[in-house]
Amino acid sequence: MTTDTRPGRNPVPGKDTPLRYVALSTALGVLYLAYRGRYPYCVSWDGPEGLAAFARAVGLVPPRPSTTIPAGLDPVRRALTERRDYRGPVGLVGLTAFQRAVLEKTRTIPRGETWTYGRLAAAVGHPLAARAVGSALAMNPLPLLIPCHRVVAAGARLGRYSDGGPLMKRRLLAEEGVDVGRLR
């Protein structure tokens, strides 16, 4: 297995490592995690079907069911079940360099803080690409691990959230101490 774990790199285990999934019971409901080795690839509320669709979309073999999460993925399990930030490696596949840059920068947004799409666009070196940032965030295969819910629209607007809609985005931000009453 070949990986590159240097900061800013996108580590991807070798194709000889099978893609698997596990169901995790969380305060948000059951989440399904697809992983390869110790690298999370996809988090879904859509059950095994959502993970299989993800696998097909990025050209991977659909995941095989697993009943337990490997010890190497314990930080991922804690991040999802205890709602902690996750700074470990992720498997971002099937995305453009721009989409990966947006998702990696999104990982640096501190808990309890929000950025606008425009601020995130500027942070990745494309200050006029706020809409493209929104599109990249819509492609986030790892909601919660890559906290795209922390990105809001200009003018104190909540913006979209594809993983559970605006009510879930509000809930996640409120859990982190964000004053969601100021967001419309």
Q: Tell me, what's the pLDDT at 4?
A: 40
Does the pLDDT at position 8 exceed 50? Answer: no
* Confidence band of 12 (pLDDT split at 50, 70, 90): low
- Third-level CATH fold of 97-182: Arc Repressor Mutant, subunit A (1.10.10)
Enumerate the domain spans of the chain. Answer: 1-94, 97-182
Q: Tell me, what's the pLDDT at 14?
A: 62
- The angle subtended at Cα 80 by Cα 165 and Cα 168, nearest 5°, is 15
User: Which is it for the CA torsion 135, 128, 179, 88, positive or negative?
Assistant: positive
Tell me what the pLDDT averaged over the chain comes to: 86
Q: Residue 46 carries which DSSP code?
A: S
Q: Tell me, what's the pLDDT at 5?
A: 39
| Identical fold, 1-94 and 97-182 | no
Average confidence (pLDDT) over 145-166: 91
Q: Residue 90 carries which DSSP code?
A: -
Residue 4 token pair? 């590159």
Residues in CB range of 14: below 8 A, 6 or more apart: 1, 2
- Third-level CATH fold of 1-94: Double Stranded RNA Binding Domain (3.30.160)
Q: Tell me, what's the pLDDT at 13?
A: 62
Does the pLDDT at position 10 exceed 50? Answer: no
Q: Is 145 exposed, middle or buried (0-12, 13-18, 19+ CB in 10 A)?
A: buried
pLDDT in tens, 120-136: 999 999 999 999 999 99
Q: Tell me, what's the pLDDT at 97?
A: 96
E-strand spans in the chain? 19-26, 29-36, 39-44, 64-65, 115-116, 151-152
Does the pLDDT at position 7 exceed 60? Answer: no
Average confidence (pLDDT) over 76-99: 93
Q: Which residue has the tokens 């809930």?
A: 171
Q: Tell me, what's the pLDDT at 28?
A: 87
Average confidence (pLDDT) over 20-36: 86
